[in-house]
């Protein structure tokens, strides 16, 4: 074996090793993105399910205090009517129960325009709340995850005329 053959063999081995490492890096990055995406979707589902459950039990939505970025409603918690406020600012959705401190419900929001309100046909007041959650995963900022829900306030009692 000559030195030239040894150099050619070494160069080919280095190329093979680099291609294997490149494939490993690609797979590792895809796995990290998938794990981040899954975690964000799970967080979004949990928040959306909680908001949906609370809004279905809500007796009123405070229309004067509610906007596309926040919702204020009264719902029963442990049998007691309690005011709940969800508010989106920046990239964070917070929740406040009664007079307690607000806490973070969801991070990495892509937009703060989350809520839309639909009034009932023959009765006044909010009947439906449309929720649109959009989150940008931290490891892949070019991706936006979206979950929607349309919630009927089943226990609505305020301002009913029909």
**Tens of pLDDT along the chain (162 residues)?**
789 899 999 999 999 999 999 999 888 878 888 888 899 999 999 999 999 999 988 888 898 899 999 999 998 888 888 999 999 999 999 999 999 999 999 999 999 999 999 886 666 678 889 999 999 988 777 889 999 999 988 877 654 444
What are the residues whose beta carbons fall under 8 Å from the beta carbon of 120, sequence distance 6 or more?
Answer: 127, 156, 160, 162
Whether residue 96 contacts residue 87, with contact meaning beta carbons closer than 8 Å, is answered with yes
Q: Which two tokens stand for residue 7?
A: 């150099």
Q: From residue 15, how far is each of 10, 23, 25, 103 by CA, in Å?
A: 9, 12, 15, 52
Please state, in angstroms and rounded to a whole number, the distance separating the CA atoms of residues 13 and 95.
Answer: 57
Contact 53, 46 (CB under 8 A): no
Quote the pLDDT of residue 122: 60
């Amino acid at each position: 074996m000559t030195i030239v053959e040894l150099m050619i063999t070494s160069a080919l081995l280095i190329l093979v090793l680099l291609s294997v490492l490149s494939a490993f890096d690609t797979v590792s990055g895809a796995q990290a993105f998938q794990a981040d995406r899954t975690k964000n979707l799970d967080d979004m589902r949990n928040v959306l399910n909680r908001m949906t459950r609370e809004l279905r039990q809500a007796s009123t939505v405070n229309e004067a205090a509610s906007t596309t970025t926040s919702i204020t409603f009264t719902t029963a918690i442990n049998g007691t009517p309690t005011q709940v406020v969800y508010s989106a600012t920046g990239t964070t959705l917070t929740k406040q129960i009664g007079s307690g401190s607000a806490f973070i419900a969801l991070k990495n929001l892509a937009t703060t325009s989350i809520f839309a309100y639909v009034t009932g046909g023959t009765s006044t007041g909010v009947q439906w709340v449309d929720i649109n959650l959009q989150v940008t995963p931290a490891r892949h900022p070019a991706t936006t995850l979206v979950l929607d829900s349309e919630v009927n306030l089943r226990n609505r009692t305020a301002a009913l005329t029909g």
